[in-house]
Chain A
Amino acid sequence: MQWRNSSTNYGVISILLHWLVALAVVGLFALGYWMVGLNYYSSWYRTAPEIHKGVGILLFGLMLLRVIWRFISPGPAPLVSHGRVTRLATKLGHGVLYVGLFVLMISGYLISTADGRAINVFGWFDVPALITGIANQEDIAGLVHEYLAWALIVFAGIHALAALKHHFVDRDSTLKRMFGRADP
């Protein structure tokens, strides 16, 4: 397999980035959903949010890399069997996922940094607060974060279902190439 994407397949880098992000997104949603219900005396009460914030910030870095990589090595060409509507829907859908994820991560960041505090990532480095002092910043950012998290996980689910549809119904190579297994 190649590092870069070809006209028919994704390369190793894109594949790794895609599936790592998918894993992180699903994991962060599950963790976030679980951690807000924790009792004050749970041993995970402080640890779970710290993991959530740390992974969230690392994901932000990963997504930035992904955007840069898209310019260095654009994805494979649309399948011949995909008509105009499919191609448009694809672009829009993927755009929603990208933009949605960035807004989601930034909103999360704005919750914790609303009081000027930095976010410490697993003890490795601090991410300083850049925007503070907006009235009710943590609450507004919190609402955005919560609603967008749900919207995105549902949309990601649709994204996954669409891929499965292409694979099992259309029997085309849409999903295969995200594993690097499409015919070259």
Chain B
Amino acid sequence: MLKNMFAALALGSMIFSGQVAAADYVIDKDGQHAFVNFKASHLGYSWLWGTFKDFEGSFSFDAAQPQASKVNVTLKTASLDTNHAERDKHLRSEDFLNVSKYPTATFKSTSVKSTGEGTADIQGDLTLNGVTKPVVIAAKFIGEGDDPWGGYRAGFEGTTTLNLKDFDIKMDLGPATQTVDLIISVEGVRQ
């Protein structure tokens, strides 16, 4: 995700402002201008949304070399929230994310490829439920610039679809729910 963001940021920077420089960003956890949301189909009848409330990450990108951008995110799996205590408890159990055994999930980018103006595919390794698999996050640069408080920020959105069985998720939720979509929206503060 971060790699995507870096790549997109680099691209975005070059396209929008012409100001390009290698920079390190930390995802804004203090102000929580960052969200890792997910949605899964419920029986094929509606979308069930949830979020991971506790995560941190950073990204660095070199506008001159977007493909050298990197992204790292670590989230606490127990921090999931779908606004239903019994469901959240079930999701944290062995049937799903087994959070006592796998308290964190991580994404580490491996490469970034531009896919157009302000968009990029970030390839990386996602470790979830103890399983590491390569995933591609389709990222979009949202914007960047100075903030009113002396900082500089850049924001991205990224999406990817995960196959639950790829990550050894035990409980089968039926034919309509073999995948879950991740929708990530983050803002980084330049260091």
Chain A hits for B173, CB < 8 A:
40
Flag whether B181 is at the interface (Cβ < 8 A).
Answer: no
Q: Which residue of A lies closest to B89 (CB)?
A: A138
Q: Does A59 have its Cβ within 8 Å of any Cβ on chain B?
A: no
- CB of B151 closer than 8 Å to a CB of A: no
Is B86 in the interface zone, CB < 8 Å from A? yes
B83 contacts the other chain (CB 8 A): yes
Tally the A-B contacts, defined by beta carbons under 8 Å. Answer: 31
User: In whole angstroms, how far apart are the Cα atoms of A68 and B78 in the complex?
Assistant: 41
Closest to B83 in A: A115
Q: Is the CB of A49 within 8 A of B86?
A: yes
Q: Which chain A residue shows the least CB distance to B99?
A: A139
B174 at the interface (CB under 8 A from A): yes
Kindly state the separation between the CA atoms of A49 and B171 in the bound complex, as whole angstroms: 18
Smallest Cβ distance from B171 to chain A, in angstroms? 7
Residues of chain A within 8 A (CB-CB) of B92 are 139
**How many angstroms from the CA of A40 to the CA of B88 in the assembled complex?**
15
B-chain residues with CB within 8 Å of residue A112 when the two chains form the complex:
85-86
Report yes or no: B174 in contact with A114, Cβ–Cβ below 8 A. no
Give the distance in Å from the alpha carbon of A112 to the alpha carbon of B88 in the complex: 10
The A-contacting residues of B in range 67-88, CB under 8 angstroms, are: 78, 83-86, 88
A9 at the interface (CB under 8 A from B): no
Rounded to whole Å, the gap between the CB of B51 and the closest CB of chain A is: 14
Q: Is A138 a contact partner of B174 (Cβ separation < 8 A)?
A: no
Contact A138 B171 (CB under 8 A): no
Establish whether residues B86 and A138, one from each chain, have CB atoms under 8 Å apart when the complex forms. Answer: yes
- CB neighbours (8 Å) of B83 from chain A are 115
Chain B residues near A142 (CB, 8 Å)?
89
- The answer to whether A137 touches B174 (Cβ under 8 A) is no
A65 to chain B, nearest CB (A): 28
| A117 at interface by CB-CB < 8 Å | yes
B174 lies within 8 A of A113 (CB)? no
- Residues on B facing A (Cβ under 8 Å): 78, 83-86, 88-89, 92, 171-174
Task: Return 8 A-B CB contacts under 8 Å, by A number.
Answer: A40-B174, A111-B85, A112-B86, A114-B85, A115-B84, A117-B84, A117-B85, A136-B78
User: Which 6 pairs across A and B sit closest by C-beta, in order of nearness?
Assistant: A114-B85, A115-B85, A138-B85, A138-B89, A142-B89, A40-B173
